[in-house]
Amino acid sequence: MADNGFRWQGGFPKIGIRPTIDGRRKGVRESLEDQTMNMAIGVAKLLSDNLRYPNGAPVEVVIADSCIGGVAESAAAASKFAKEGVGVSITVTPCWCYGTETMDMDPAIPKAVWGFNGTERPGAVYLAAVLSAYAQKGLPAFGIYGEDVQDAGTTDIPEDVKGKLLGFAKAGLAVAYMRGKSYLSMGSVSMGIAGSIVNDAFFQEYLGIRTEYVDMTEFVRRMDEGIYDPAEYEKALAWVKENCKEGPDNNPASIQTSRERKNKDWETVVKMTMIARDLMIGNPRLAELDFGEEAMGHNAIVSGFQGQRQWTDHFPNGDFMEAILNSSFDWNGIRAPFMVATENDSLNGAVMLFGNLLTNTAQIFADVRTYWSPASVERVTGHKLTGAAENGLLHLINSGPATLDGTGEQTKDGKPAMKPFWEITQEEAQKCLDATSWRPASVEYFRGGGYSSDFLTRGGMPMTMSRLNLVKGVGPVLQIAEGYSVELPEHVHDTLDKRTDSTWPTTWFAPILTGEGSFKSVYEVMDNWGANHGSISFGHIGGDLITLASMLRIPVCMHNVPNDRVFRPRAWGLFGTQDQESADYRACDNFGPLYK
């Protein structure tokens, strides 16, 4: 199945640019028309040149037909934006404008205002006035104001303004694209994990996402009744035999499964992978096979598979399915990764989605398994940790569903990386596959068999670990930890890895410490993490996650992002400027979920 056409059938939200202007005619407005519209054109070019949709296409930008000097032109712009599918708005101006007459009043659209820092006209005065109006009306907006004074008529966008425009737009597009999509729960609650209690109110009120549910018996029905593309299945199985090398079986000889059973498991997990994808996004090929209802899918932008234990006590586990879907390539070639949460941990699935929409890259799902102190590592292995790992490590490891992109076998500027699918070469995809061993599942855990992916993430990659938690009486809260992947000497890794299940993929992660609070030490990071799982993104994207969270009214309870990279709506400062964490909680509580 080539999913590029069908998968994105709903299209993507556009960014609307609103050039606002002083409405006074007979001299004032006329003198500003060109400068104001040129600001809009410059911002549109910046965004379309630098941002891409999940399918790799450049972001589309719509500019209002005229400068907006009053209510009538504001309404005309809103009408155009609605017809064009605009989901994010940016207002730009070099001058004074009539605030409440020219502002964007749509409560569901993330909005920002860039007020030009120049001495000839008071763009900064309008910026302050309209932002106060947004706060007064309960419509939080982001304020963008360059640090340095610019000359009148310049078309240059300062670097600090570019950063805020791009950061806001990335987060705004994520908000707009999520709206109206689905979380698909494949199964129910896994082993009492609270995150797999799919909270309908959270997804609906905070993300604008509906929740869809199918029982895991749907996989059995589709396998038994042949509700999958048989031609693709044969292609997939041949690809797996060629590219997915099977590793040693660590099970005691007395409980190892037969070669015949192992071969049968490969057939089953390939079918599971196809079925999960078809459940998420549909498959037009199924309609050709007379399965019209199944061909439609669930419009799912993210999903979760329960697996344990009702499925895995009898059938092969979901590790292969999750690992391949979460990767940027399969038997159909290089393509955008899917977001599939292990153990149906919907809250980890949500932050995987956040990271994916902000970066267009695959996301690593992992247990936040163990804190290894420098003293413990030295005691067990004789090795003294140095460099990024000198203060200790977190062992991120889970039962096989981590994206194969997480091997770090892709490169950027000669360094290990995880890239958007359109930048990945066939050679890099093959290296990720070659670095992965598929280990027969631990039968004591997974009585039904299956295969777990086993790899070791390359060191030196900037990474961001995040997690959403639900707190009764508060709602969702977000945790963020920026850091780096670390490579250990082979004997050190082997010694530490063999103390847990060595058939699973490992990422050694060293969070950046600030010396304060939850980031006083690596131990404090582990001790304050809110759940057993985390989502790991390539790059230091904590600032973008904070911007996105503020749009959704989700407070951030823990992060190590420097203040100069924290960008929230201007109204957040009205809840206090000394303690930004407390102010964030009060602002999110005051304005409430975006869609409630």
Does the pLDDT value for residue 345 go beyond 80?
yes
Contact between 94 and 116 under an 8 Å Cβ cutoff? The reply is yes
Does the pLDDT value for residue 3 go beyond 70?
no
Contact between 266 and 239 under an 8 Å Cβ cutoff? The reply is no
Mean pLDDT confidence for 230-245: 98
Query: Which tokens sit at 23?
Result: 């409405």
Mean pLDDT confidence for 240-247: 97
Q: What is the mean pLDDT of the chain?
A: 95
The answer to whether 249 is a known catalytic residue is: no
Q: How high is the pLDDT of residue 5?
A: 60
Does the pLDDT value for residue 512 go beyond 70?
yes
| Residue-wise DSSP of 395-419 | EEE-SS-S-GGGG--EEETTEEE--
Share of the chain above pLDDT 70, in %: 98
More confident residue, 98 or 10: 98
Does the pLDDT value for residue 4 go beyond 60?
no
Mean pLDDT confidence for 380-390: 97
Mean pLDDT confidence for 331-360: 98
- In three-state secondary structure terms, 47 is helix
The angle at the Cα of 548, spanning 170 to 207, to the nearest 5 degrees, equals 105
Q: How high is the pLDDT of residue 404?
A: 98
Q: How high is the pLDDT of residue 400?
A: 65
Structure confidence by residue, pLDDT tens digits, 33-70: 999 999 999 999 999 999 999 999 999 999 999 999 99
Those residues whose C-beta lies under 8 Å from the C-beta of residue 3, and which sit 6 or more positions away, are 277, 281, 332, 335
Mean pLDDT confidence for 305-332: 97
In the annotated binding site for Mn(2+), the residues are 343, 367, 533
Query: Which tokens sit at 63?
Result: 């500019």
Q: How high is the pLDDT of residue 155?
A: 78
- Angle at which helices 374-381 and 490-497 cross, to 10°: 100
Structure confidence by residue, pLDDT tens digits, 167-187: 999 999 999 999 999 999 999
Does the pLDDT value for residue 228 go beyond 70?
yes
Mean pLDDT confidence for 212-239: 98
Mean pLDDT confidence for 205-222: 98
The catalytic position among 205, 330, 367, 428 is 367
Nearest Cα to Cα of residue 544 among 568, 511, 528, 575: 568
The catalytic position among 343, 482, 501, 544 is 343
Rounded Cα gap, residues 165 and 47, in angstroms? 8
Does the pLDDT value for residue 118 go beyond 90?
no
Q: Is the peptide bond preceding residue 309 cis, with omega within 30 degrees of 0?
A: yes
Rounded Cα gap, residues 321 and 222, in angstroms? 15
Does the pLDDT value for residue 469 go beyond 80?
yes
> Predicted confidence band at 508 (pLDDT cuts at 50, 70, 90)?
very high
> Predicted confidence band at 595 (pLDDT cuts at 50, 70, 90)?
very high
More confident residue, 562 or 154: 562
Residue 372 DSSP label? E
Rounded Cα gap, residues 212 and 258, in angstroms? 37
Q: How high is the pLDDT of residue 473?
A: 96
The answer to whether 343 is a known catalytic residue is: yes
Share of the chain above pLDDT 90, in %: 92
Contact between 361 and 420 under an 8 Å Cβ cutoff? The reply is yes
Count CA atoms closer than 13 A to 570's CA, side-chain side: 22
Does the pLDDT value for residue 416 go beyond 80?
yes
Set out the domains of the chain in order of their start, with CATH numbers: 14-178 (3.40.50.1070), 182-591 (3.20.14.10)
